[in-house]
Structure 1
């Protein structure tokens, strides 16, 4: 059979040129220890009883929205449930940016879906740096943001783990009032809850906080997120979001995950993971094959190896971590915090590298 090709003349130029986001799971890898996707090592079992799947779900499941509003100490009208934080990113770009006219500001390196989403909607990228965000003054940052409509701050940042102080976020938001929306992506905030920008919503109309149940709540497979903002900012987003974004099954599991005892369990697990992260960071710093360890927040550690070949050896042995290019160098690795047995495999790999030095 002759291979068929789709005529590119039917595609908009921005989609034809689009470089899709390469997630950890999009790579067809085989292995025995998986520490590449910033997933929680804790699996959960939920018992469900659903007899009305023939009916459409609530557009915004009231029990889940109420539970999450209680968890983040906000009014329920300030909470919008989404299909992961990724849908929140897409909704903000689609709602607030004019295709072919507007831009979004990013502080690179950072989470790749901001760029992919903007590219897919023909929205320009204003590429700024993490160095500017962390070390520059709010005046310098605002000047660099220029006319960008959305300003994405991943906090803690993926993949570096760096944290932007709330005082700087509030200063940026104040300077951009009536000019731009500051989007604070808090996918990893449970690992440093004192850094949340949700407390700023009482003072600012132009701040959005994105959250997820994928990381600390150990529900990456559920694809559940939340957009937190004041009602006036959320109102147009509510017009744009799909009519039934959350299935009944997803809503029921999310509701169970947000009960008081489940939240307490999540916090205990976060404490364990944070301790394990400290141990892993020390192992990495003690290994002569590791040239740099980035100290940051989140459920991962990002490191630079002396030799990229050492990363390849780990992957070939079944120890799957996330290699990537950073600062124009290809010998960087992000290691998710796994359970004790998984991290022991990292220790064995590091010990073998140390023995070779």
Structure 2
């Protein structure tokens, strides 16, 4: 008889079978031009007051909550500050889903952390298609998500950049009242603000919007996000969230990032990045090495190479982009929108591989 190690004996089956999320930074790759994680190319300077670090922080720093509620045009009691939008995903699953009983609905392909979080908490996944979400009738979508506690809509969607109209999300949310919570992940919303569903919160208590400072606000290293929703919807989440989720230092930097001048600067940077994206798409359209481009919203472009081996030339020169499998094909690539010099490296790579096709 073989004795199992203690950790194998104690480990729940769902965790033993879990495939961890592979982030852009989890792979130890060397390079000098990083366009693989949808980060902003802009850097921030922070002036930090550290005298009070001997005291526990405010669990929900009011100055940050008030600033973000003003920015998002919601009430302060409709905002929870989280450790990135990822914690918001985890909190919703942990709060509203019963392990081994409940399920969530996803529209694939989409952000991988929804699945990882559900698998971690032993919550079933109802896998649906992005095509259904984008092109299906609302009644068909409602039937497809039936029985799910949470319905996740990444808008704009990562990695495709596809967007769902506010009107369609409102209709879905209305139809799912008292049946499911619609969770709209707006990590990239600053790049297409007209698609934001934040203002719908006043009309629906089964709608939650997730936000982040990681993308347009250029604070990926800060790990700061926000959950927006009706007061009664967020109340159970407040019982589940860690006692002190936001450090004093993080709160100070976040408050500075949400002042009027900083928001104006962020919006100027978004305009520049959106223009740079249009230029990149033009280059890609002219390249014989590219077979398809998903030119949706967000600070990235997803494309299909005619031959995935063409990516080797980029990595050999230190240009790091995000390859992945999509639609059962492994020759897809996501390029984050960088600064002028970074995108020049992409242009040089495209010129080099075009000569090989």
Where 2:332 maps in the other structure, the secondary structure is strand
Of 45-54 and 233-242, the range deviating more from structure 2: 45-54
Partner of 1:46: 46
Count of aligned pairs between the two proteins:
354
Are 2:323 and 2:333, in contact at CA under 8 Å, matched by a contact in 1? yes
The Cα of 1:68 is off from its aligned counterpart by: 0.3
The Cα of 1:6 is off from its aligned counterpart by: 5.5
Partner of 1:225: 225
The Cα of 1:230 is off from its aligned counterpart by: 0.5
State yes or no: 1:338 paired with 2:356: no
1-structure distance, mates of 2:147, 2:284: 42
2-structure distance, mates of 1:225, 1:312: 35
Are 2:93 and 2:117, in contact at CA under 8 Å, matched by a contact in 1? yes
Distance change in 2, residues 1:250/1:330 (3 Å): same
Partner of 2:253: 253
1-structure distance, mates of 2:236, 2:48: 34
The Cα of 1:167 is off from its aligned counterpart by: 1.1
The Cα of 1:318 is off from its aligned counterpart by: 1.0
Where 1:20 maps in the other structure, the secondary structure is coil
Where 1:54 maps in the other structure, the secondary structure is coil
Per-residue Cα deviation, 1:247-288 (whole angstroms, up to 9, x for no partner): 000000000000000000000000000000000001001000
Partner of 2:141: 141
2-structure distance, mates of 1:211, 1:313: 36
Alignment map for 1:169-184 (pairs within 5 Å)? 169-184=169-184
Where 2:20 maps in the other structure, the secondary structure is coil
1-structure distance, mates of 2:331, 2:315: 13
Where 2:29 maps in the other structure, the secondary structure is coil
1-structure distance, mates of 2:219, 2:325: 28
Where 2:162 maps in the other structure, the secondary structure is coil
Structure 1 unaligned blocks of 5 or more: none
1-structure distance, mates of 2:86, 2:105: 17
The Cα of 1:7 is off from its aligned counterpart by: 3.1
Where 1:321 maps in the other structure, the secondary structure is strand
Per-residue Cα deviation, 1:67-122 (whole angstroms, up to 9, x for no partner): 00010111100000000000000000000000000000000000000000000000
The Cα of 1:355 is off from its aligned counterpart by: 2.1
Partner of 2:125: 125
Partner of 2:354: 354
Q: Please identify runs of 4+ aligned residues in structure 1 that moved more than 6 A.
A: none
2-structure distance, mates of 1:337, 1:93: 31
Normalising to structure 2: TM-score of the pair? 0.98
Partner of 2:64: 64
Per-residue Cα deviation, 1:37-85 (whole angstroms, up to 9, x for no partner): 0000001111112201000000100000000001011110000000000
- Cα RMSD between the aligned structures? 1.0
State yes or no: 1:200 paired with 2:204: no
Are 2:191 and 2:270, in contact at CA under 8 Å, matched by a contact in 1? yes
State yes or no: 1:309 paired with 2:309: yes
2-structure distance, mates of 1:249, 1:225: 15
Per-residue Cα deviation, 1:306-349 (whole angstroms, up to 9, x for no partner): 00100122122211000000000000000000000000000000
Are 2:49 and 2:249, in contact at CA under 8 Å, matched by a contact in 1? no
Structure 2 unaligned blocks of 5 or more: none
